[in-house]
Structure 1
Amino acid sequence: MNPLADLKLSMLDLVPVREGGTVAEALATSLRTARHVEALGFTRYWLAEHHNMPGIASSATAVLVGYIAGQTERIRVGSGGIMLPNHAPLVVAEAFGTLAELYPGRIDLGLGRAPGTDAMTLRALRRDRIETEADFPRDVAELQRLLGPRQPDQRVIAVPGVGTEVPIWLLGSSLFSARLAAERGLPYAFASHFAPAMLLQAIELYRHNFRPSEKWEKPYVIIGVPVIAAPTDAEADFLATSTFQRVLGILRGERGLLPPPVAGFLQSIPPRERAGIADFLGAAVIGSPERVRDGLRDLRAATGADEMMVVSDIFDPELRLRSLEIASRACWQPAPADSPDAGPTP
């Protein structure tokens, strides 16, 4: 039996701008990718909020959610996530309430508590507002009220928004959001695509402390997984050097456009930086269909994830589409040994 047969696959897109490319091309590539994974049977297509980063074109996240939802048919589209320190909850409720009215039953609201940028840009986004640890839980509760049924004594109404009950997801890379999601009975997405260190601990805490809510009777876990798939391990390793260069830039504080792959890249940098990239991409699955299948199986066995959200930063858009198709087949099609037509093992 294929242990991945019931696993849901989704995609997180940062809308990478490639070297030699434009923002308009990056946006068009994201739409094409969303349509592609919808045809493959993916469940969701989420977009991440980041600011003041030349290589990422997803800063106006709600706008992009509408762009993708308006030109797809079935796939759920949402934020992975909206960074609440940057926004007033009422504005978020109105934006996603509008999206929910335009595309009923297809919009997700993933929420993060990091600003998704540097301190200088944070000040530009929210002026002089100083965030405290109590703000995020309070803002989440306010969003739940604004998107829920109107209460008799409610004086501030999100229009659109009220009564839409857009599904709220909590995102995180530490234990804080795991604990809050468990207390509120909300689904939880762990950012293991860039910070896998606390993945198992956060999931265990979330599941152990989960309190059933009106909408979620049991815990539900998404994990982020960087995936680079190709017909051979060697080609996948080569294509992954674009991601390695991007991660190294993050570690060095040098953010730029997504670069083309470079042969022998890891061998060209010091061991300490290779180790930093390996830690950042500790949950990555890179390789041929067989290696990808094994990697996804191992992650599923370790985490019991209900859903995996793929991140695939490949320089050539065509090869990214191919990678996603290979990953979906590796996940959902039986391996030769699992096939009902396979003969006994000699």
Structure 2
Amino acid sequence: MKNSHKIASLELGRLFALFAIIALHSQIFMTYLLVDDVPVFGYIFNQLTRFAVPFFFILSGYLIQPKLSTSPRKTLKQYSSPLLKIWLVWSALCLAMPFNWQRAATDGYLIERTGYWNWLTQNSLNALMEGGMVHLWFIPALVIAVAIIALFIHFNKSSLLIPVAVILYTYGVMGGSYQTLTEVWTPFFTRNGPFFSTLMVVIGFEFRRRNITLSSINSFLLLLTGFVIHFVEAYWLTNYDVAFNLHDFLVGTPLIGMGLFLLLLSKPNLGNHPMTFTLSKHVLSIYVCHLLCVVVMLNITGMMGLTLAMRDFVIVFGTVALSTSFVFIMDKTPLKRLLFR
């Protein structure tokens, strides 16, 4: 069987997480369903989608563990080279594409782009860790996490992986969402780089190395516990003028990723359909191009004068259709080698 080496539920998890990220970046429910002029439902939905990136990191660690354990340096090179190529190519495309078409048409392409380029230069270190557009931060963060693991394995210091990853994560939280309280200095936005990604990838790595599993019930309870802690933290931090929808990672967030991953792992045949495998192999490609597709849909809905729920619907499902179609078309052309892995 062609996909016998893949776990159907984890591939389905990829698709579910990708859709959540597209919905998150589409900023849905943020202009209606207000409570005292606050988009409460939009804020809640925003934080509910935060399972996606931890899941992707954990899955990456889980999948790369066998090769990384046996050949850390070789695996790191083979794994990181195509990812960094994709990061560079899509950074260039994101830097080149105008975001506000109306301004580009009225004021000129260079004026529209110069504002964004100048903003990036004012945050140069952060921009370096992200690339040409904010969503691309995932790629260097993943590569750095894998590099750290490979380095520790190469020097026979695997026992230090979890402590170091926890220290990095703690610093990331203290210098991120809790910075208002801790006043911890950070060189750049701690979502970027190794601070959160390392622990998530290490968790996936250790899950496979130690063959860790949980029952469906215990996995769900872990997932639920993670969400409860994450949401309590997010609500509590509003007392310190930290917006509820700001958080990428909090203390409870790793539990969310772990719970979801183990839950899917406990149901390996969930989503066992050819379409799942067909779509899941293109998840990274859709991910790197989806935010530019969101930009396209934002401009189109603006020109059409769409608002509220109709606007959200068109942006989300238009982005899904456009990004998926683009990837499938490029997959049939020589540009595939340039644009994707």
With the length of structure 2 as denominator, give the TM-score of the two structures: 0.29
With the length of structure 1 as denominator, give the TM-score of the two structures: 0.28
